[in-house]
Amino acid sequence: MKNRVVITGLGVVAPNGVGVDAFTKAIKNGVSGITFHQQLADLNFSCCIGGIPNISEEKKLEYLTPLQLRGFNSSGILYGCIAGMDAWKDAGFEVDPDSDLDFDSGTVFGTGTSGVDKFREAIYKLDDKQVKRLGSTVVVQTMASGISAFLGGILGLGNQVTTNSSACTTGTEAILMGYDRIKNGQAKRMLVGSCSDDGPYIWGGFDAMRVMTYKHNETPKEGSRPMSETASGFVPGAGAGALVLESLESALKRKATIYAEILGGNINSGGQRDGGTMTAPNAKAVQRCIQDAVKDSGILAEDIDTINGHLTATSKDSLEIENWTTALGRSGTGFPYINSLKSMVGHCLAASGSIESVATVLQLKHQFVFPNINCEDLHPKISALISEEKIVKHTINTSLNIAAKASFGFGDVNGCVIFKKYN
């Protein structure tokens, strides 16, 4: 007997909105969170624009104690703690340092790199032969599992507390890892999500690879152009998304608000074979991931009403659309709605899958499809595959039952999760 798994809490820290209410408003209105950053220009970046969530000093103190904030220099952990604690409270739980240990609740909270600014600070001290002067805060902020360790302690979680890492698939993978654990009866509740640092030290490597756009430094809000003919690379972003997953039984017993149900999903890899490389996807594996997610969910491809794609605004967008059409056997006007949150927030890297999943779940809960901005000039390779009306440019209110969310990451790794409106 497998447990049904539902979503009972959401939290989000995105470049265009912090908190579920602000974020919902932003995505409905097509608000871009991309801005110009002088620091990137000063460091000679080709791409000087990015999406950084706006968090005040007062806001930090609502989530972390003055002691936790001493020597604190890890933006990803900050975003993850805010999103995670918000999701927990949204699900109806208290955040109390004296709460009883809860062996039925755990977390899988992913990241790519933790505390890169803190690490830089430490390296300067080390090279200056000041290792003794590092203090106690370097390890917990730079260990990959820093974010799950912070959240585990803040919430008193007694089930599995871990961090996963699979590049841009991280957030979507975290959801499926938590889902599996509840489905199999190993936990009643799992806080799942992911976070990513912001700034030059996390984005520099991508700038060097020339995969970020350098054509929109004067027009930041137009920079992130998924599916556009003039897309010229992704815009980097940062933040965190968090979801409380719970067995249906536990949610009903608590009379919790249910946002949506997770029907299933799939995680696989293209093995960097058959056209797949460290940085490019094996199309066969992507298609198989989508098909296996559909199969695992016990639905048919035609049941999918809307897709939230990976769609980063690189030359791979049309290949992704082609993969969806092949995998689902749907094209033209028979294709579901499809959108990319990255048009508004950029590519939040390890945080992308979770932030975008929060957006997808909000669409199901409130029955709308958020707009794709900056693709008024749809790429002809895409319009040859699917009808342009499926790529909405203004929010539409429509009846949605099933949504698919996929993420693809460096290392040729794929993840696809299927969400359903809860009735």
Partner 1 sequence: MTKEELISKLKTIVQPYIQNEDAFNNLSEATDFINDLKINSANLVDVILDVEDEFDIRIENDDMEKMTSVKAAMDIVNEKLAAK
Per CB under 8 A, residues contacting partner 1 are 66-67, 70-71, 133, 135-137
Q: What minimum distance in Å lies between the beta carbon of 66 and partner 1?
A: 6
Min. distance of Cβ 140 from partner 1 in angstroms? Answer: 8
Residue closer to partner 1, measured from CB, 126 or 252: 126
Residue 65 beta carbon to partner 1: minimum distance, rounded to whole angstroms: 9
Looking up tokens 């939040």 gives 348
Please tell me the distance from the alpha carbon of residue 248 to that of residue 271, in angstroms, as a whole number. Answer: 35
Select 136 or 399, whichever has its Cβ closest to partner 1: 136
CB closer to partner 1 out of 98 and 100 = 98
Q: Which is nearer to partner 1, 67 or 101 (CB)?
A: 67
We find the least distance from the C-beta atom of residue 142 to partner 1, in angstroms, to be: 15
User: In 38-154, at which residue ranges do the beta strands (DSSP E only) sit?
Assistant: 49-51, 105-111
Q: Give min distance, CB of 76 to partner 1, in A.
A: 21
- Helix axis angle for 170-183 and 352-366, nearest 10°, is 60
* CA-wise closest residue to 212 among 40, 24, 420, 29: 40
Backbone angles phi, psi at 71, to 5 degrees: 65, 20
Q: Which residues contact 59 (CB under 8 A, 6 or more apart)?
A: 18, 82
Distance CA 22, CA 31 (A): 11
**CA–CA dist 230, 59 (Å, integer):** 38
| CB closer to partner 1 out of 71 and 204 | 71
CB of 64 to partner 1, least distance (A): 13
> For residues 71 and 158, which CB has a smaller minimum distance to partner 1 in the complex?
71
Cβ 50 vs Cβ 120: under 8 Å: no
CB 135, min distance to partner 1, A: 5
Least distance from partner 1 to the Cβ atom of residue 148, Å: 18
Q: Compute, in degrees rounded to 10, the torsion defined by CA atoms 199, 312, 241, 272.
A: -100
Q: Terminal CA-to-CA distance of the chain, rounded, Å?
A: 21
Please state the φ and ψ torsions of residue 260, each to the nearest 5 degrees.
-170, 170
Of 130 and 184, which CB lies nearer to partner 1 in the complex structure? Answer: 130
| Closest to partner 1 by CB, 140 or 345 | 140
Exposed e or buried b per residue across 361-395, where buried means at least 16 C-beta atoms within 10 angstroms of its C-beta: bbbbbeebbbbbbbbeebbeebeebbeeebbbbee
Cβ 72 to partner 1 shortest distance, Å: 12
Task: Select from 43, 165, 164, 152 the least CA-distant residue to 108.
Answer: 164
Q: Which is nearer to partner 1, 133 or 394 (CB)?
A: 133
Smallest gap from residue 150 Cβ to partner 1 (A)? 14
We find the least distance from the C-beta atom of residue 131 to partner 1, in angstroms, to be 11
Helices (H) and strands (E) in the chain, counts: 15, 15
Nearer to partner 1 among residue 135 and residue 271 (C-beta) = 135
Residue 121 C-alpha from the chain's centroid = 27
Q: Phi, psi (5° rounding) for residue 294? A: -60, -45
- Stretch (H or E) spanning 342: helix 342-345
Closer to partner 1 at the Cβ: 68 or 352? 68
- Backbone phi, then psi, for 413, in 5-degree steps? -110, 145
Q: Which residue has the tokens 């967008």?
A: 317
